[in-house]
Amino acid sequence: MNAYPRSATANAGANIALIKYWGVRDATLNIPLNDSVSFTLDTTRTTTTVTFDPDLPADELLIGGEPAAPAATERASRHLDILREMAGVSWRARIVSENTFPMGAGIASSASAFAALTVAAAAALGLSLDTRALSRIARRGSGSAARSIEGGFVWWHAGIDDATSYAEQIAPPEHWDLCDIVAVVEEGEKRVSSAQGHLLAESSPFLETRLSLVHKALPRVREAILNRDLATLGPIIETDALAMHFVMMSSQPRLFYWTGATLDILKAIERWRDEGLPVWFTIDAGPNVHLICEANHRDAVATAARSLPGVRDIIIARPGPGATLV
Ligand code: PMV
Protein backbone atom coordinates (compact mmCIF):
# COMPACT_ATOMS: atom_id res chain seq x y z
CA MET A 1 0.00 0.00 0.00
CA ASN A 2 1.55 3.31 -0.92
CA ALA A 3 -1.18 5.94 -1.30
CA TYR A 4 -2.03 7.83 1.95
CA PRO A 5 -4.35 8.43 3.59
CA ARG A 6 -6.44 5.31 2.98
CA SER A 7 -10.16 5.76 3.45
CA ALA A 8 -13.41 3.77 3.13
CA THR A 9 -17.04 4.22 4.15
CA ALA A 10 -19.50 1.52 5.19
CA ASN A 11 -23.14 1.37 6.22
CA ALA A 12 -24.70 -1.20 8.59
CA GLY A 13 -28.03 -1.71 10.36
CA ALA A 14 -28.87 -2.41 13.97
CA ASN A 15 -30.58 -5.76 14.51
CA ILE A 16 -33.30 -7.10 16.76
CA ALA A 17 -32.77 -10.55 18.27
CA LEU A 18 -35.71 -12.97 18.23
CA ILE A 19 -33.70 -15.45 20.31
CA LYS A 20 -31.37 -13.42 22.47
CA TYR A 21 -27.68 -13.53 23.26
CA TRP A 22 -27.08 -13.17 27.00
CA GLY A 23 -23.95 -14.45 28.70
CA VAL A 24 -20.45 -15.14 27.44
CA ARG A 25 -18.18 -18.16 27.46
CA ASP A 26 -15.23 -15.87 26.61
CA ALA A 27 -15.60 -12.18 27.40
CA THR A 28 -12.54 -11.06 25.41
CA LEU A 29 -13.58 -12.75 22.18
CA ASN A 30 -17.33 -12.37 22.91
CA ILE A 31 -18.00 -16.08 22.45
CA PRO A 32 -21.63 -16.38 23.62
CA LEU A 33 -23.22 -19.12 25.72
CA ASN A 34 -25.95 -19.72 23.12
CA ASP A 35 -26.77 -19.35 19.44
CA SER A 36 -29.04 -16.39 18.66
CA VAL A 37 -31.32 -15.35 15.80
CA SER A 38 -32.13 -11.82 14.66
CA PHE A 39 -33.17 -9.68 11.76
CA THR A 40 -31.14 -6.74 10.58
CA LEU A 41 -33.09 -3.47 10.46
CA ASP A 42 -33.47 -1.15 7.49
CA THR A 43 -34.05 2.25 9.12
CA THR A 44 -31.80 2.24 12.20
CA ARG A 45 -28.37 2.38 10.61
CA THR A 46 -24.84 3.68 11.04
CA THR A 47 -22.57 5.09 8.33
CA THR A 48 -18.88 5.19 9.21
CA THR A 49 -15.85 6.52 7.36
CA VAL A 50 -12.44 5.31 8.48
CA THR A 51 -9.36 7.15 7.26
CA PHE A 52 -5.96 5.69 8.15
CA ASP A 53 -3.37 8.43 8.23
CA PRO A 54 0.29 7.82 9.19
CA ASP A 55 0.52 11.48 10.29
CA LEU A 56 -2.13 11.11 13.01
CA PRO A 57 -0.71 10.72 16.53
CA ALA A 58 -3.79 8.90 17.90
CA ASP A 59 -7.12 7.45 16.77
CA GLU A 60 -9.99 9.95 16.68
CA LEU A 61 -13.71 9.20 16.81
CA LEU A 62 -16.50 11.60 15.90
CA ILE A 63 -20.12 10.51 16.38
CA GLY A 64 -22.77 12.78 14.90
CA GLY A 65 -20.16 15.50 14.42
CA GLU A 66 -19.08 15.50 18.08
CA PRO A 67 -15.89 14.03 19.57
CA ALA A 68 -16.82 10.76 21.30
CA ALA A 69 -16.22 10.07 24.99
CA PRO A 70 -12.72 8.74 25.74
CA ALA A 71 -14.07 5.27 26.63
CA ALA A 72 -15.86 4.98 23.27
CA THR A 73 -12.76 6.13 21.37
CA GLU A 74 -10.65 3.63 23.30
CA ARG A 75 -13.10 0.80 22.45
CA ALA A 76 -13.04 1.71 18.74
CA SER A 77 -9.26 1.98 18.86
CA ARG A 78 -8.92 -1.52 20.34
CA HIS A 79 -11.16 -2.80 17.56
CA LEU A 80 -8.98 -1.17 14.90
CA ASP A 81 -5.94 -2.84 16.51
CA ILE A 82 -7.33 -6.22 15.42
CA LEU A 83 -7.52 -5.06 11.81
CA ARG A 84 -4.19 -3.19 11.95
CA GLU A 85 -2.51 -6.36 13.16
CA MET A 86 -4.02 -8.34 10.29
CA ALA A 87 -2.79 -5.74 7.79
CA GLY A 88 0.62 -5.39 9.47
CA VAL A 89 0.36 -1.61 9.93
CA SER A 90 0.30 0.73 12.91
CA TRP A 91 -1.32 3.82 11.35
CA ARG A 92 -3.83 5.71 13.46
CA ALA A 93 -7.25 6.55 12.04
CA ARG A 94 -9.95 9.18 12.00
CA ILE A 95 -13.37 7.55 12.41
CA VAL A 96 -16.42 9.59 11.48
CA SER A 97 -19.73 7.95 12.36
CA GLU A 98 -23.37 8.99 11.87
CA ASN A 99 -26.51 7.22 13.08
CA THR A 100 -29.92 7.54 11.42
CA PHE A 101 -31.48 7.29 14.87
CA PRO A 102 -30.89 9.53 17.87
CA MET A 103 -28.15 8.18 20.15
CA GLY A 104 -30.38 8.75 23.17
CA ALA A 105 -33.39 6.87 21.76
CA GLY A 106 -32.53 3.74 23.69
CA ILE A 107 -31.70 1.79 20.53
CA ALA A 108 -28.43 -0.11 20.87
CA SER A 109 -26.03 1.39 18.36
CA SER A 110 -23.11 -0.94 19.10
CA ALA A 111 -24.18 -3.62 16.58
CA SER A 112 -24.48 -1.25 13.63
CA ALA A 113 -21.44 0.75 14.81
CA PHE A 114 -19.04 -2.19 15.04
CA ALA A 115 -20.34 -3.81 11.86
CA ALA A 116 -19.84 -0.56 9.90
CA LEU A 117 -16.46 0.09 11.54
CA THR A 118 -15.23 -3.42 10.68
CA VAL A 119 -16.28 -3.27 7.03
CA ALA A 120 -14.94 0.27 6.49
CA ALA A 121 -11.61 -0.34 8.24
CA ALA A 122 -11.01 -3.67 6.47
CA ALA A 123 -11.59 -2.00 3.09
CA ALA A 124 -9.43 1.01 3.95
CA LEU A 125 -6.60 -1.35 4.90
CA GLY A 126 -7.00 -3.32 1.67
CA LEU A 127 -7.93 -6.52 3.53
CA SER A 128 -10.07 -8.81 1.43
CA LEU A 129 -12.32 -10.68 3.88
CA ASP A 130 -15.46 -12.76 3.33
CA THR A 131 -18.61 -12.18 5.40
CA ARG A 132 -17.72 -14.95 7.85
CA ALA A 133 -14.37 -13.33 8.60
CA LEU A 134 -16.01 -9.89 8.90
CA SER A 135 -18.65 -11.31 11.24
CA ARG A 136 -15.99 -12.87 13.46
CA ILE A 137 -14.12 -9.56 13.70
CA ALA A 138 -17.28 -7.46 14.26
CA ARG A 139 -18.22 -9.89 17.08
CA ARG A 140 -15.13 -8.81 19.02
CA GLY A 141 -16.32 -5.18 19.07
CA SER A 142 -19.81 -6.08 20.30
CA GLY A 143 -21.27 -9.58 20.18
CA SER A 144 -24.46 -8.61 18.41
CA ALA A 145 -22.43 -6.80 15.71
CA ALA A 146 -21.54 -10.27 14.36
CA ARG A 147 -25.19 -10.49 13.19
CA SER A 148 -25.30 -7.01 11.60
CA ILE A 149 -22.71 -7.98 8.98
CA GLU A 150 -25.45 -10.04 7.32
CA GLY A 151 -28.79 -8.72 6.07
CA GLY A 152 -32.28 -10.16 6.53
CA PHE A 153 -32.77 -13.02 8.98
CA VAL A 154 -29.56 -14.08 10.66
CA TRP A 155 -28.31 -16.95 12.84
CA TRP A 156 -25.25 -16.46 15.01
CA HIS A 157 -23.53 -19.78 15.71
CA ALA A 158 -22.20 -19.48 19.25
CA GLY A 159 -19.28 -21.77 18.43
CA ILE A 160 -16.58 -22.56 20.94
CA ASP A 161 -13.77 -20.27 19.82
CA ASP A 162 -12.89 -17.40 17.50
CA ALA A 163 -12.97 -19.54 14.36
CA THR A 164 -16.38 -21.14 15.02
CA SER A 165 -18.38 -18.15 16.35
CA TYR A 166 -19.90 -16.22 13.44
CA ALA A 167 -23.26 -15.27 11.94
CA GLU A 168 -24.92 -16.50 8.75
CA GLN A 169 -28.00 -15.46 6.83
CA ILE A 170 -31.06 -17.74 7.12
CA ALA A 171 -33.20 -15.75 4.68
CA PRO A 172 -32.78 -12.46 2.78
CA PRO A 173 -34.62 -9.27 3.81
CA GLU A 174 -37.32 -9.65 1.15
CA HIS A 175 -38.21 -13.14 2.44
CA TRP A 176 -40.67 -11.77 5.01
CA ASP A 177 -42.04 -8.30 5.63
CA LEU A 178 -41.81 -8.46 9.40
CA CYS A 179 -41.83 -5.15 11.27
CA ASP A 180 -40.09 -4.04 14.43
CA ILE A 181 -42.01 -1.14 15.94
CA VAL A 182 -39.95 0.15 18.83
CA ALA A 183 -42.00 1.72 21.60
CA VAL A 184 -39.50 4.11 23.17
CA VAL A 185 -40.35 4.65 26.84
CA GLU A 186 -37.06 6.02 28.06
CA GLU A 187 -34.28 7.85 26.34
CA GLY A 188 -30.64 8.02 27.33
CA GLU A 189 -27.83 5.61 28.12
CA LYS A 190 -28.62 2.37 29.91
CA ARG A 191 -27.30 2.18 33.45
CA VAL A 192 -25.55 -1.17 33.08
CA SER A 193 -24.08 -1.86 29.66
CA SER A 194 -24.70 -5.21 27.99
CA ALA A 195 -20.93 -5.80 28.04
CA GLN A 196 -21.08 -5.71 31.85
CA GLY A 197 -24.41 -7.55 31.95
CA HIS A 198 -23.15 -10.57 29.99
CA LEU A 199 -20.60 -11.19 32.75
CA LEU A 200 -23.37 -11.44 35.36
CA ALA A 201 -25.46 -14.08 33.57
CA GLU A 202 -23.57 -16.96 35.22
CA SER A 203 -24.60 -15.69 38.65
CA SER A 204 -28.30 -16.32 37.95
CA PRO A 205 -29.83 -19.60 39.15
CA PHE A 206 -32.13 -19.45 36.10
CA LEU A 207 -29.38 -19.37 33.46
CA GLU A 208 -29.37 -23.15 32.88
CA THR A 209 -33.16 -23.21 32.57
CA ARG A 210 -33.10 -20.46 29.98
CA LEU A 211 -30.31 -22.12 27.99
CA SER A 212 -32.22 -25.40 27.82
CA LEU A 213 -35.32 -23.49 26.60
CA VAL A 214 -33.18 -21.74 23.98
CA HIS A 215 -31.84 -25.03 22.62
CA LYS A 216 -35.39 -26.28 22.10
CA ALA A 217 -36.59 -22.97 20.67
CA LEU A 218 -33.85 -22.42 18.09
CA PRO A 219 -34.89 -25.01 15.45
CA ARG A 220 -38.54 -23.98 15.86
CA VAL A 221 -37.64 -20.33 15.32
CA ARG A 222 -35.75 -21.19 12.15
CA GLU A 223 -38.76 -23.17 10.85
CA ALA A 224 -41.17 -20.38 11.73
CA ILE A 225 -39.03 -17.81 9.89
CA LEU A 226 -38.70 -20.02 6.82
CA ASN A 227 -42.49 -20.60 6.87
CA ARG A 228 -43.29 -16.93 7.64
CA ASP A 229 -45.30 -18.25 10.57
CA LEU A 230 -45.74 -15.45 13.11
CA ALA A 231 -48.36 -17.38 15.12
CA THR A 232 -45.65 -19.93 15.96
CA LEU A 233 -42.78 -17.44 16.21
CA GLY A 234 -44.53 -14.88 18.43
CA PRO A 235 -45.01 -16.94 21.61
CA ILE A 236 -41.47 -18.37 21.37
CA ILE A 237 -39.79 -14.96 21.12
CA GLU A 238 -41.85 -13.56 24.00
CA THR A 239 -40.90 -16.49 26.23
CA ASP A 240 -37.23 -16.07 25.35
CA ALA A 241 -37.21 -12.32 25.99
CA LEU A 242 -38.89 -12.90 29.37
CA ALA A 243 -36.50 -15.74 30.21
CA MET A 244 -33.54 -13.47 29.42
CA HIS A 245 -34.97 -10.75 31.65
CA PHE A 246 -35.57 -13.28 34.46
CA VAL A 247 -31.87 -14.16 34.22
CA MET A 248 -31.01 -10.46 34.36
CA MET A 249 -33.33 -9.81 37.31
CA SER A 250 -31.99 -12.79 39.24
CA SER A 251 -28.28 -12.19 38.65
CA GLN A 252 -26.05 -10.75 41.35
CA PRO A 253 -26.10 -7.80 41.37
CA ARG A 254 -29.63 -7.71 39.93
CA LEU A 255 -30.32 -6.04 36.62
CA PHE A 256 -33.75 -4.46 36.27
CA TYR A 257 -34.03 -2.90 32.84
CA TRP A 258 -37.82 -2.48 32.88
CA THR A 259 -39.80 0.54 33.97
CA GLY A 260 -43.50 0.65 34.79
CA ALA A 261 -44.17 1.68 31.20
CA THR A 262 -42.47 -1.51 29.95
CA LEU A 263 -44.96 -3.67 31.85
CA ASP A 264 -47.89 -1.46 30.75
CA ILE A 265 -46.97 -2.14 27.10
CA LEU A 266 -46.67 -5.91 27.68
CA LYS A 267 -50.18 -5.90 29.19
CA ALA A 268 -51.52 -3.77 26.33
CA ILE A 269 -50.06 -6.22 23.79
CA GLU A 270 -52.01 -9.08 25.40
CA ARG A 271 -55.16 -6.97 25.21
CA TRP A 272 -54.56 -6.08 21.56
CA ARG A 273 -54.00 -9.74 20.71
CA ASP A 274 -57.25 -10.67 22.47
CA GLU A 275 -58.94 -8.04 20.27
CA GLY A 276 -57.50 -9.73 17.17
CA LEU A 277 -54.34 -7.73 16.46
CA PRO A 278 -51.46 -10.18 15.82
CA VAL A 279 -48.51 -8.52 17.57
CA TRP A 280 -45.80 -9.95 19.86
CA PHE A 281 -42.94 -8.39 21.80
CA THR A 282 -39.28 -8.69 22.52
CA ILE A 283 -37.12 -6.54 24.83
CA ASP A 284 -33.36 -5.90 24.74
CA ALA A 285 -31.16 -4.75 27.62
CA GLY A 286 -33.32 -1.69 28.26
CA PRO A 287 -36.90 -0.64 28.99
CA ASN A 288 -38.10 -0.15 25.40
CA VAL A 289 -40.45 -2.71 23.92
CA HIS A 290 -40.02 -3.99 20.35
CA LEU A 291 -43.41 -4.84 18.85
CA ILE A 292 -43.12 -7.49 16.18
CA CYS A 293 -45.89 -7.77 13.58
CA GLU A 294 -46.37 -8.28 9.86
CA ALA A 295 -46.46 -5.31 7.48
CA ASN A 296 -50.24 -5.43 6.99
CA HIS A 297 -50.72 -4.68 10.71
CA ARG A 298 -47.95 -2.11 10.98
CA ASP A 299 -50.14 0.99 10.96
CA ALA A 300 -52.62 -0.43 13.47
CA VAL A 301 -49.81 -1.50 15.83
CA ALA A 302 -48.03 1.86 15.48
CA THR A 303 -51.26 3.75 16.22
CA ALA A 304 -52.03 1.53 19.22
CA ALA A 305 -48.48 1.95 20.58
CA ARG A 306 -48.59 5.74 20.14
CA SER A 307 -51.83 5.90 22.15
CA LEU A 308 -50.15 4.56 25.32
CA PRO A 309 -49.25 7.31 27.79
CA GLY A 310 -45.77 5.93 28.60
CA VAL A 311 -44.65 5.78 24.96
CA ARG A 312 -42.54 8.83 24.08
CA ASP A 313 -41.70 7.94 20.52
CA ILE A 314 -41.88 5.07 18.08
CA ILE A 315 -39.36 3.87 15.51
CA ILE A 316 -40.47 1.63 12.66
CA ALA A 317 -38.08 -0.79 10.96
CA ARG A 318 -38.24 -3.81 8.65
CA PRO A 319 -35.66 -6.39 7.56
CA GLY A 320 -32.81 -4.59 5.83
CA PRO A 321 -29.51 -5.29 4.10
CA GLY A 322 -26.25 -6.31 5.72
CA ALA A 323 -23.17 -4.17 6.09
CA THR A 324 -21.97 -2.74 2.77
CA LEU A 325 -19.31 -0.41 1.48
CA VAL A 326 -20.71 2.92 0.38
O1 PMV B 1 -23.85 -7.11 21.63
P2 PMV B 1 -24.22 -6.67 22.98
O3 PMV B 1 -23.11 -6.87 23.98
O4 PMV B 1 -24.76 -5.27 23.00
O5 PMV B 1 -25.39 -7.61 23.55
C6 PMV B 1 -26.70 -7.62 23.06
C7 PMV B 1 -27.62 -8.15 24.07
C8 PMV B 1 -29.10 -8.11 23.73
O9 PMV B 1 -29.41 -7.02 22.92
C10 PMV B 1 -29.86 -7.97 25.05
C11 PMV B 1 -29.57 -9.40 23.08
C12 PMV B 1 -29.18 -9.61 21.64
O13 PMV B 1 -29.01 -10.78 21.27
O14 PMV B 1 -29.10 -8.64 20.87
Last residue of a domain, one of 144, 175, 206: 175
Asked if the structure places residue 95 within a domain, the reply is yes
Asked if the structure places residue 324 within a domain, the reply is no
Assess whether the C-beta atom of 281 lies below 6 angstroms from ligand 1. no
Q: Give the chain's domain count.
A: 2
- The distance from CA 277 to its chain's CA centroid, rounded to whole angstroms, is 27
Per-residue confidence of the chain (326 residues) as pLDDT tens digits?
Answer: 556 669 999 999 999 999 999 999 999 999 999 999 999 999 999 999 999 999 999 999 999 999 999 999 999 999 999 999 999 999 999 999 999 987 656 677 899 999 999 999 999 999 999 999 999 999 999 999 999 999 999 999 999 999 999 999 999 999 999 999 999 998 766 678 888 999 999 999 999 999 999 999 999 999 999 999 999 999 999 999 999 999 999 999 999 999 999 999 999 999 999 999 999 999 999 999 999 999 999 999 999 999 999 999 999 999 999 999 99
Are 255 and 164 members of one domain? no
CA atoms within 13 A on the CB side of 8: 17
Q: Which CATH number does the domain housing residue 290 bear?
A: 3.30.70.890
Which residues, in sequence order, are bridge partners of residue 316?
Answer: 181
Are 148 and 277 members of one domain? no
| Angle between helix 298-306 and helix 260-274 axes, rounded to 10 deg | 140
Are 154 and 34 members of one domain? yes
Structural contact between residues 278 and 235, judged by C-beta atoms closer than 8 angstroms: no
Q: Give the span between the Cα atoms of 322 and 306, in whole angstroms.
A: 29
Protein residue whose Cα sits closest to atom 9 of ligand 1: 284
Are 22 and 166 members of one domain? yes
Assess whether the C-beta atom of 194 lies below 6 angstroms from ligand 1. yes
Asked if the structure places residue 326 within a domain, the reply is no
Closest CA to 209 of 236, 244, 233: 244
Ligand 1 nearest atom to the CA of residue 195, by list position: 3
Rg of the chain on CA atoms, in Å = 19
Assess whether the C-beta atom of 17 lies below 6 angstroms from ligand 1. yes
Domain span holding position 169: 6-175
Q: Tell me, what amino acid is at 289?
A: V
